[in-house]
Chains A and B, each alone.
Chain A
Amino acid sequence: MSCALRISRLEVPRSGFEIVRGVDVDVPAGQVTVLLGPNGAGKTTLLEAVSGVIPASAGSIHLDGTDVTGEGRVRRARRGLSHVEQGRTVFGDLSVVDNLLAAAPRPEIGLAFEIFPELDRFRERKAGLLSGGEQQMLVVARAVVQRPKVLLLDEISLGLAPIVFGRLIPVVRQLADDGMAVLLVEQFAALALGIGDNAYVLSNGSIVFSGPCAELSTESEVLHSAYLS
C-alpha cells in the first residue's frame, strides 16, 4: 500500500517544551486517518509541523516517498500537501470566488461548487459575511480545488452546528474514496471514527494507540484513559 504521508519519529518543540515526542503516523492514499486526543496532546502542533508552519527538531516527514522535512511551507504545498487550519481561515475581504482563485486557477474552482452546491449562490459575496458553516465549507473547498494528494483537516467541527458538521463529514469520506489521503484531527470522536479507516490516539505528545477505527469505539478503554490522563 502506498503511503502518501509518512511521519517518522517526529519531535516538535514549542516555546521550550517538547510538544510532540517521537510520533509515527502513516497516512495512506484513499483512506481517512483519524487523529484523536485530549486538549494539549499536541495534535495541532503535529499538523503544523507536517505542513511546515513550525519546525520539527527531529524525525522526518515524507510526502510520496520524498523527504520534505527541510523544505518550506510553500514547497510542501506545491508538492500536494494541503493543510486546513483550525478556525475557518477564510480571506474575509475577498469574495468566495477570489478565495478559491487564490488557491487554484479559474478552470479548477468549479469543483468547489460541485462538492458544496450551497456556496454557489454566494459566489460574489465577501467570505467574511458568510455564516460559520459556510466559511468552513469554503475553507475545505479551497483546499480541495488544489487537488492535493494529502489533506490535513484540523478540527473542522469547531463551533459548528451539528447539521453543518454532519454535512461536512460525508464529503471528507468521499474525498478519500476518490483517492486522497486525509488526516482528520477531531474532538468529536464518534463522528470521526464513523467515517475513518485507521485511527491514532495522541496523548501527552506520544501515540498511545494505533489501529483500525472499528477497534476504537468511543467507549474503549484506550480512549478514555488517554483523555483522563
Chain B
Amino acid sequence: MLLYRMAGVLNFSIAVFGAFGAFIMVSLFERGLPFGLAIAVGVLAGLALSAAMGAVMAALFPDTDPITRSVVTIGMAISLFAVAFRIFGDRPRSFPPLFPSVSYTVSGVSLKLSGMVALGLASVLAFAIWLFLRRTRIGVQVAAMSTRSTTAELLGIPVRSYTVAIWALAGAIATMAPILAAPTRQADFTSLGLLVVPALAAALLGSFHSLGLTVVAGLGIGVLEAMAVRWPAVSTWRTTLPFFVILVVLLWRQRGEVWDEAR
C-alpha cells in the first residue's frame, strides 16, 4: 500500500519481508535475547531486507511499467520464501504475546487488547504518513515520481534514494504487522508470508488512494474473519470469505473503469 502510493509499484513480496523480520525476532527471542531487543533487531532486519530489494528495483528497473515491476516482486517473493525455508524451516513458531491477552466484550463481539493496539498504531501511522505526504515538498516529489519516474529524475528528484527509503519504511511496518498479529494466526512462514493476500486485498479496497480507507478496510476484514469463526457453516471458508466480499466491493468500485486508461 505504502509502496504503491509512493513508488508506483505494488509489492507482492512486502509481507515476506515482514515475515522475515518477524521470524528473526522470534528466533532471537527463543535464544534468550530480551524481547524488546529482539523486536528491534527483527524490525531492523525487515527494514534492511526491504531496503536492499528496493535498491535492486531502483537500480535494475528504473523506467519499467508497473506490471513488470509487480512481476519482479513476485520473483522476489518466491526467492525469499525459498531462503526462509532454508533458514527457518516450515515449523510453526509460537509468537510471544506482545500484550497481555485481555479481551473486552462489547455487544457480543470480543475485542482483544492486542487488536486494539494494532488498530491504534495503524491509524496513527496512516495519519502520520498522510500528513507527511500532504504537507511537505518531499511528499509532492514522491507523488510526482510515482506517476512519471523518468520525468521526476530529469527534474533532479532523487528517485532512487526515495525508492529505497520508502521500501525500507514499508519493510519495517510490514515486520511490525505480523509481530502484532501473529498470536491470532497460525504462524508458520508460509501463512505469514501469504498474509500478503488479505493485506493486498485491504489495499485494493482502499483502491491505493486513500490511506484512511485502507486502514478501515483492513480492520473490516479482520472483524469479518473473526466473526466467521463462530459461524460453523462458513468457518472453513473464513480465510477466503473476505476475499469474495472484497472482490464484490472492488468490482463495484471499478465498475466505471471500462477502458484501460483515460483517453
A residues with a Cβ closer than 8 A to B are 51, 53, 72-74, 77-78, 82-83, 85, 89, 91-94, 98-99, 101-103, 105-106, 128, 142-143, 146
Contacts and interface: CB of A to CB of B under 8 A. Distances in A.
B154 A77 contact: yes
Contacts of A51: 154
Contacts of A103: 155-156
B141 A74 contact: no
Contact of A101 (B140, B147, B154, B159): B140
Contact of A77 (B143, B144, B153): B153
Which 6 pairs between the two chains have the least Cβ-Cβ distance? A77-B156, A102-B144, A73-B153, A89-B151, A91-B144, A103-B155
B158 A74 contact: yes
Q: Which of B143, B147, B151, B154 is packed against the most chain A CB atoms within 10 Å?
A: B154
Contacts of B143: 91, 93-94, 98, 102
B147 A73 contact: no
Contacts of B153: 72-74, 77
Given A53-B150, A89-B148, 16 more contacts: A74-B158, A77-B153, A78-B156, A82-B155, A85-B151, A89-B151, A91-B144, A91-B147, A91-B151, A93-B143, A94-B144, A94-B147, A98-B140, A102-B141, A102-B143, A106-B137
Given A74-B159, A101-B137, A105-B137, A53 B154 contact: yes
A77 B155 CA distance: 6
Interface string B137-167: 1001101100110111111111110000000
Nearest to B141: A102
A72 B153 CA distance: 9
Contacts of A74: 153, 156-160
7 contacts: A74-B160, A77-B153, A77-B155, A91-B148, A93-B147, A98-B140, A98-B144
Contacts of B151: 85, 89, 91
Contacts of A82: 154-155
Nearest to B143: A94
Interface string B106-146: 00000000000000000000000000000001001101100
A98 B136 CA distance: 11
Contact of A83 (B140, B148, B154, B158): B154
Nearest to B262: A128
Nearest to B156: A77
Contacts of B152: 102
A87 to B, nearest CB: 10
Nearest to A84: B154
Nearest to A79: B156
A207 B142 CA distance: 39
A101 B155 CA distance: 11
Contact of A85 (B140, B154, B156): B154
A106 B147 CA distance: 21
Nearest to A95: B140
Nearest to B144: A102
Contacts of A53: 63, 150, 154
A102 B140 contact: yes
A106 B140 CA distance: 12
A46 to B, nearest CB: 15
B54 to A, nearest CB: 16
B155 A142 contact: yes
Contacts of A91: 143-144, 147-148, 151
A99 B144 contact: yes
Nearest to A78: B156
